[in-house]
Copies of this chain bind each other. A is one copy, B any other.
Amino acid sequence: MTDTNLISIDAMGGDRGPAAVLDGIALAHAANPALRFLVHGRQAEVAPLIAARGLSDICSLRHAEAVVTMNDKPSQVMRHGSDTSMWSAVDAVRNREAAVAVSCGNTGALMAVSMLRLRKLPGVNRPAIASLWPSFNPGGWNVMLDMGADVRADAHDLLTYGIMGAAYAHYALGLETPRVGLLNVGTEEHKGTAELRLAHELMTGAQARGGFAFVGFVEGNDLPAERVDVIVTDGFTGNVALKTGEGTAKMASRLMKEALTSTWLAKLGALLAMSALKRLKDKIDPRRANGGVFLGLNGTVVKSHGGADATGIAAAIDLAARLARSGFLERMAARVASAAPAGQDAPSEEASNESAK
């Protein structure tokens, strides 16, 4: 049986190199001493980092000669990447050594390797990447998917995203019956494309057996809203929305910083308000929500931000560990299979190619 406390982790391929990954492992282990790690990477580079941090007891190192870079094309990695640390990390999930793999590497390549090695769950045509989005809900987060696994999604894919996103929100956010919304340019039923109107119909009918409550169409300004827990969209729109939100938040933070250093009085004011501003900064720290989860495969893969530091990597590991323990994959798989229309589970060559973003 798979050890749910063992996390398979790709030590290479992140912007900050293997040292940041090992620092993240040390942090995650301090918070949760039961965790152990299968670490994939170059022996000569990674072994000294493990030893230097005194992590030899909790880390098994598996040597992989090659590294997937941010510039490698997913199709190339699929054909020639079997000696990479990313491939090795995913294969540990395939072989049931670990329940979850974590990587900071190239998103497109990680999705391609994950699809190739883990294969899609029955009933899933297009896997998706789910992320957490800061919200005014009591828990502070909404789930949004697809964030960019595939630039397209048809109505059945969107229904599947709703079911998978609801299962993820159930286990990651502890919500009994997550409320699912479909992203559109208006909330009236006649808005948007024919595909979205069909998805609306399918999701209305699938609520009960899909384990969610369907709230209908939502708009971009509902992403942080209290009226929804899971926002479903295609990977093109999701990716643009994610980066637009990040860009806007960064702009707001930069303008605020400029304002609070613009005069002596403002600087003094900022000094007095410092601890309140620090609490706000911690609350919205994007590192706390680090980790896009690949849903729809026979195994769970957590994609950490490429630029994640130790804190971010520890957050991704913590998410991976919670998912591994929850047994959410099996429950999600059962729900997807029960809601799938006939003929949706055949592997599709076209879909595999499209995922290579």
Residues in chain A within 8 A of chain B (CB atoms): 73, 134, 136, 148, 151-152, 183, 185-186, 190-193, 219-225, 233, 235-237, 239-253, 255-256, 258-260, 262-263, 265-266, 268-277, 279-280, 283-284, 357
Contact = CB atoms under 8 A, between A and B. Distances in A.
A351 to B, nearest CB: 14
A136 B219 CA distance: 26
Given A136-B251, A244-B221, A249-B252, A269 B273 contact: yes
A73 B190 contact: yes
Given A220-B244, A266-B276, 19 more contacts: A191-B357, A193-B236, A219-B239, A220-B239, A220-B247, A221-B246, A233-B240, A240-B240, A244-B248, A245-B245, A256-B256, A259-B279, A260-B273, A260-B276, A265-B273, A266-B277, A269-B269, A269-B274, A270-B273
A265 B276 contact: yes
B273 A239 contact: no
Contact of A272 (B193, B252, B253, B272): B272
B255 A280 contact: yes
A245 B253 CA distance: 14
A237 B249 CA distance: 19
21 contacts: A183-B240, A185-B357, A192-B357, A220-B244, A220-B246, A220-B247, A221-B250, A224-B251, A225-B247, A233-B240, A236-B237, A237-B240, A244-B248, A248-B249, A256-B256, A256-B280, A260-B277, A263-B275, A266-B275, A269-B272, A270-B273
A243 B272 contact: no
B263 A276 contact: yes
A281 B244 CA distance: 20
A235 B240 CA distance: 13
Would you list the 6 A-B pairs with minimal beta carbon distance, nearest first? A220-B243, A269-B273, A269-B272, A221-B247, A266-B276, A220-B244
| Most chain B C-beta atoms within 10 Å of own C-beta, residue among A193, A220, A263, A270 | A220
A256 B283 CA distance: 11
Nearest to A259: B280
A246 B220 CA distance: 8
Contacts of A225: 247
A304 to B, nearest CB: 18
Nearest to A221: B247
A242 B255 contact: no
A348 B137 CA distance: 45
Given A151-B192, A240-B240, A280-B256, A247 B223 contact: yes
Contacts of A220: 239-247
Contacts of A240: 183, 185, 219-220, 233, 237, 240-241
Contacts of A275: 263, 265-266
